[in-house]
A and B are shown apart, each in its own frame.
Chain A
């Protein structure tokens, strides 16, 4: 069949069909047929998604923290232990709203994407009424977006980055110090002991970068010259390339500021001390706050005269709650509780207190109750100064990170002055009001 024939046939068929349609109407015929019709109704209904909250026997709180590498496993385990301790203490006193409290702890592995997934799972699958904990700022920043999306309160107990509370979300609260608070204490101490040139070694994470930005602001304000900043990856073992650079600096820095966490900080601090860079007669060496851990001396045997920060109060100022947590922690880990364990313990109590005052686990009421927090726990008296009832001033006189931020975390600077010294025997050198040895700095080789 040629193309022309085919075309002709199609045209003829079309014409015949049209003529048939125009022809006389045939006699109507009645055909009765029963047809079963299955009708599918598709309807779009917009429903506001509410987190699953089973009206069960318990009130569930979500805990988040790193229990696997690359996160700080030490930090996560300490926080999990302290939270469980708080839950068992609360339940021993009758629970909350007449129900037992239940902690569901999720491992965030120190990875932001895992943290966000864990927070979402806790809210949508486990039906937690609030989330608390977290050790790493980068992970906290991912989690707070989930809390904000679902309108569930998040109380961060350890993440330091200013950005955590700077976001200004109603759902986000923090009881750990912001990086700027830590920076201020260290920078003011540097100024007090006459530091003119400082070198910073900073981990390449949200915590480290945030900490350094805050440091630089205070250095500028106090007239301290930031000679050099070195960013390093967490997990680095060999620091000699940058330490050799520091050795070649002219003038020799007056202080080296370390904003590196975990075992990475131990490697850095030991190599710095072994090379004789710091702590030395010329250069002050600061160590990360994990220097209070007992393994510090095993990893940094040359660590005498390092200065390190302590969040919270020294044992001499412990209250009954702190002593209780310290005893339980010591029985489990054979060491004193670090600040993040105490904060994790307190965070559960703060949430329990808010639920009790709100009389419900409904998010809005819970957030409202959290804003009115006023309770004294292991780390002191907790309250949030800048809330929806007392907003941040528009003129910028108060930093944005103060939103839903506990304003009073104590940041002390301590200094070891003997090898293998217990951190409780280290000298408190700053702020002056807490000084234990009457000095703001112990020069290496001397005794206070």
Chain B
């Protein structure tokens, strides 16, 4: 126990709090850029305490350089893992490398699945400036579209198709519904016909989400449903890793769709138009881009991605009309963690939440409580991020 106590005295949370609180003031006082000072001060205090904070305080180097954030971040990770290993020497995460690799691989796989849903939400926020509280219900709708498409093909024509077929169809249907909803209910807000637009956006998306959920409950009932699996296979052994193939396929769908979205945003005129509107609507309008059209397009693409992630996951998880509630809550956490409006941020946010949940539940000292605290582990990272970097990983300064 000597090393943990030494750590608490010479580094640790006290110095982290002091660094995060005091260092930005020192930088401001000297007229320097204080933006990264809170994060570096926090991480520097956590890892090396006064031994790093002292020189930073005295010399005030340019903390905008990548190696400050990267270096202190990596050092903090190593230090915390080392402390955990000392204090929990018989924990599976310390004694069994293949166990850690399995947990990490599962966390990354589910992370891609989480990210797919979150990128749609962040795209809507980035262009429209609103959080869609109906996003989880579009995810639910996508799953049901795929389910009933496959059922229809099977019962009407006797064709058994792979659930992957349902993914684009679900995307198409949810995009059309998204377009219609945006044109009918959100466009008046952008045209200035609605007072208190912020509150209106929350209420109207929330209300539409309820409408979708309870309509689904009335039509399909409360009984759980699921399509057939992508592959008729059990687990897949890759060296010491044991994976579920159907989950890997769902994650692969997520990776492909996120890659396509990034291509659209970065390599096409439409994507550049969307990005331009997200940066400055008026400037974009001056250059000939129609912001209203881009709003509709962004909402449609966002709901399409939610629907496609639902269709990709209905072969993996059991589906009920309220399945979107948990998924959407997790998406809000991911996009704030990654930085509101940032697609790469949503991707990294999803991966971080996936990893933290898996390793948190897998490594928590009391196994009986690890799984019950799974969501809490993600929320702790979320809270810490808000504390040291309120704009999120890739968020823009307001």
* Residues on A facing B (Cβ under 8 Å): 69-70, 73-74, 77, 204, 228-233, 235-242, 244-245, 247-248, 262-263, 266-267, 270-271, 274-276, 293, 295, 298-299, 301-302
Contacts and interface: CB of A to CB of B under 8 A. Distances in A.
A266 B320 CA distance: 12
Given A233-B375, A242-B361, A244-B103, A274 B224 contact: no
Interface residues of B, number: 42
Interface in B306-334: 317-318, 320-322, 325-326
Q: Give the 3 A-B CB pairs with smallest separation, nearest first.
A: A73-B222, A241-B361, A69-B322
A285 to B, nearest CB: 14
Given A242-B361, A245-B362, A248-B92, A74 B223 contact: yes
A417 to B, nearest CB: 18
Contact of A237 (B229, B321, B326): B326
B65 interface: no
Contacts of B320: 69, 73, 263
Interface string B42-70: 00000000000000000000000000000
A247 B242 contact: yes
B358 A275 contact: no
A70 B320 CA distance: 11
B87 to A, nearest CB: 19
Contacts of A245: 92, 99, 362, 367, 370
A70 B226 CA distance: 19
A241 B374 CA distance: 9
B90 to A, nearest CB: 13
B360 to A, nearest CB: 8
Q: Which of B217, B226, B242, B375 has the most CB of A within 10 A?
A: B226
Interface in B227-245: 228-229, 234-235, 242, 244
Interface of B: 92, 96, 99, 102-103, 106-107, 110, 217, 221-226, 228-229, 234-235, 242, 244, 246, 317-318, 320-322, 325-326, 357-358, 360-362, 367-372, 374-375
A275 B242 contact: yes
B317 A248 contact: no
Contacts of A247: 102, 242
B166 to A, nearest CB: 15
A244 B322 contact: no
B367 A230 contact: yes
Contact of A236 (B224, B242, B374): B374
A106 B358 CA distance: 39
Contact of A241 (B222, B224, B242, B370): B370
B65 to A, nearest CB: 37
B372 A299 contact: no
Contact of A248 (B99, B217, B226, B358): B99
Contacts of B107: 241
A232 B224 contact: no
A228 B368 contact: yes
Given A73-B217, A241-B362, A267-B317, A229 B368 contact: yes
A240 B367 contact: no
A239 B107 CA distance: 11
A228 B223 CA distance: 31
Given A244-B102, A276-B234, A239 B371 contact: yes
Contacts of A295: 223-226
B363 to A, nearest CB: 9
Contacts of B371: 230-233, 236, 239, 241-242
21 contacts: A69-B320, A231-B371, A233-B372, A233-B375, A235-B326, A237-B317, A237-B326, A238-B106, A240-B244, A241-B107, A241-B357, A241-B360, A242-B362, A244-B102, A244-B242, A262-B224, A263-B320, A275-B235, A275-B242, A293-B223, A295-B226
B325 A69 contact: yes
B222 A248 contact: no
A205 B224 CA distance: 21
A293 B224 CA distance: 10
Contacts of A263: 224, 318, 320
Contacts of A301: 228-229
Given A240-B106, A245-B362, A298 B226 contact: yes
A230 B364 CA distance: 12
Nearest to B372: A231
B388 to A, nearest CB: 26
A422 to B, nearest CB: 17
A180 to B, nearest CB: 21
A148 to B, nearest CB: 31
Given A241-B362, A299-B224, 9 more contacts: A73-B320, A229-B368, A233-B375, A235-B326, A241-B360, A245-B92, A266-B224, A275-B235, A298-B226
Contacts of B361: 241-242
Contact of A274 (B235, B357, B362, B375): B235
A241 B326 contact: no
Nearest to A238: B110
Nearest to B224: A263
Given A228-B368, A241-B357, A275-B242, A298 B235 contact: no
Contact of B244 (A228, A242, A275, A299): A275
A232 B372 contact: yes
A235 B330 CA distance: 13
Contacts of A244: 99, 102-103, 106, 242, 362
B54 to A, nearest CB: 41
Contacts of A266: 224, 226, 318
B321 to A, nearest CB: 8
Nearest to B327: A237
Given A77-B222, A267-B317, A295-B224, A240 B370 contact: no
Contacts of B99: 244-245, 248
Question: Quick one: which of B222, B357, B362 has the most chain A CB within 10 A?
Answer: B222
Nearest to B109: A240
B341 to A, nearest CB: 27
A271 B374 CA distance: 17
A231 B373 CA distance: 9
A267 B246 CA distance: 13
Contacts of B106: 238, 240-241, 244
A239 B221 CA distance: 25
A270 B246 CA distance: 12
A235 B323 CA distance: 8
B28 to A, nearest CB: 43
A325 to B, nearest CB: 19
Given A231-B369, A302-B234, A274 B244 contact: yes
Contacts of A69: 320-322, 325
A228 B357 contact: no
A299 B226 contact: yes
B374 A276 contact: no
A217 to B, nearest CB: 17
A252 B372 CA distance: 23
Nearest to A269: B318
Contacts of B370: 230, 241-242, 245
A271 B234 contact: no
A263 to B, nearest CB: 4
Contacts of B102: 244, 247
A274 B234 contact: yes
Contacts of A230: 367-368, 370-371
